[in-house]
Chain A
Amino acid sequence: DVKVTQSSRYLVKRTGEKVFLECVQDMDHENMFWYRQDPGLGLRLIYFSYDVKMKEKGDIPEGYSVSREKKERFSLILESASTNQTSMYLCASRWTGRNTEAFFGQGTRLTVV
């Protein structure tokens, strides 16, 4: 069974903290994604990676960075957490190709206080 695993389901962090969200996939997918989900806004792409050490900005990269040192692992970093980054964060992975579906982790609900 395919699996995308996010390291935490719930996180509470303080304003200004550096926050790491980790994601691991076991399907050998080239592509990995970080999305943010907020009510009424659907999924918004923060960053994606199409290969080890390769990354591209999505629609809302400001305030975030990413790291992909190994194919199976993709990390999202909030350099200095702010309250407007309180949200649900979803990691996904996918084969390359227009017909391929994305597989998602369970999500991390981050609250910044």
Chain B
Amino acid sequence: QKEVEQNSGPLSVPEGAIASLNCTYSDRGSQSFFWYRQYSGKSPELIMFIYSNGDKEDGRFTAQLNKASQYVSLLIRDSQPSDSATYLCAVTSMDSNYQLIWGAGTKLIIKP
């Protein structure tokens, strides 16, 4: 069974600090990796995707992928109270018939 694991949190980070969110996955054949943000009562919104080993930066967000160790992380620099949300990691591959396999999410709280 293909699985995606995330620490449920809550992860509490002071405003202005770097928030680090981690995700591990079981399927070695995974090809695409996604981070979504979900505010309470709202639908998930895409932050970024990554599919090559290494780092990918978009504004204050950096996704890091290490396929050998089967983990993907999301760093949020200069954390703001508006970043407080649940962050969902999702993974897909041809073996999963392109179905996204979702982690349960990590709740992030940014303290002013």
Partners in one complex: no
Interface residues of A (CB under 8 A from B): none
Interface residues of B (CB under 8 A from A): none
